[in-house]
């Protein structure tokens, strides 16, 4: 297992676009909902593994603002899995030193689900280990719009000088305020796009795509992504 003592540089913040659950199921002649179920199981396993490698922040793209366009049966299945995952966080994960935060617009979820989200965050708020950001009903464009509206209100109320607005002012009004930008974005399933994930924050993130579908993305796959990241020369616009 990779860790901070292995001689390999472990990125401080990793984001993962968990893609391929439906294709994983289709390849096996199974309903898409089964793929999501296996993906949710892998979600828990990989989170625990990554928390032991030395990564400080892990942001997982679980459900986007665009995912509501999927068939209602699939959305309902995903909401059921999310509910079960929250229950697991309050039981199975109670001994894990992982702080959990949900990013995205939670207001659209049913009240019982919102209650579980709030309870999961409350129980984990004082933990000192890895910070796990779970992006639910998250879209980066809507996140940026939310920040712009907040800045607009502050300008209107004379709390902010529009001529002195900086990139940092925007960053502080995002869901990931006060967190370092992701060093590495991993996407499973072979696609090469961000799909509205951390657009502002990932301006200089390294991107790694693997053909492995999310339910099959294991510890070795994660280690390979980190090893590839270590080969990159991050210049941040310099020479």
Q: What's the pTM value of the predicted model, to 2 decimals?
A: 0.93
Which domain covers residue 74, as residue numbers?
13-140+181-229
Assess if residue 156 is contained within a domain: no
Assess if residue 7 is contained within a domain: no
CATH of the domain at 76: 3.40.1180.10
Assess if residue 93 is contained within a domain: yes
pLDDT at position 5: 65
Assess if residue 154 is contained within a domain: no
Assess if residue 174 is contained within a domain: no
Assess if residue 145 is contained within a domain: no
CB atoms near residue 223 (< 10 Å): 16
Number of domains within the chain = 1
Assess if residue 171 is contained within a domain: no
Closest of 8, 22, 7 to residue 222, by C-alpha: 8
Q: What is the DSSP letter of 216?
A: G
Assess if residue 221 is contained within a domain: yes
| Phi and psi angles of residue 52, each rounded to the nearest 5 degrees, phi first | -95, -5
Residues designated as active site: 19, 67
Q: What is the mean pLDDT of each run of 10 residues along the chain (239 residues)?
A: 76 97 96 92 94 96 93 90 84 83 95 93 93 96 98 98 96 97 98 97 97 98 97 78
Q: What is the DSSP letter of 46?
A: H
Closest of 138, 172, 140 to residue 154, by C-alpha: 172
State both tokens at 175. Answer: 């869901």
């Amino acid at each position: 297992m990779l860790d901070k003592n292995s001689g390999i540089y472990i990125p401080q913040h990793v984001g993962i676009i968990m893609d391929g659950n439906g294709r994983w199921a289709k390849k096996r002649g199974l309903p898409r909902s089964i793929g999501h179920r296996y993906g949710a199981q892998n979600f828990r396993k990989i989170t625990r593994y990554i928390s032991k490698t030395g990564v400080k922040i892990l942001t997982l793209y679980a459900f986007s603002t665009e995912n509501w366009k999927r068939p209602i049966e699939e959305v309902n299945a995903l909401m059921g899995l999310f509910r079960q995952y929250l229950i697991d966080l309050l039981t199975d994960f109670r001994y894990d030193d992982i702080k959990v935060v949900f990013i995205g617009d939670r207001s659209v979820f049913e009240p019982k689900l919102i209650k579980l989200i709030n309870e999961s965050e409350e129980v984990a708020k004082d933990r000192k280990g890895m910070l796990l950001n779970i992006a639910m009903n998250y879209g980066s464009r809507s996140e940026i719009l939310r920040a712009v509206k907040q800045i607009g209100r502050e300008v209107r109320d004379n709390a902010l000088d529009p001529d002195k607005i900086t990139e940092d002012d925007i960053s502080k009004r995002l869901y990931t305020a006060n967190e370092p930008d992701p060093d590495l974005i991993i996407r499973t399933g072979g696609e090469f796009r961000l799909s509205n994930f951390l657009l502002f924050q990932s301006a200089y993130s390294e991107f790694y795509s693997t053909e492995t579908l999310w339910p099959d993305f294991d510890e070795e796959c994660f280690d390979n992504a980190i090893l590839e990241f270590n080969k990159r020369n991050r210049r941040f616009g310099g020479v």
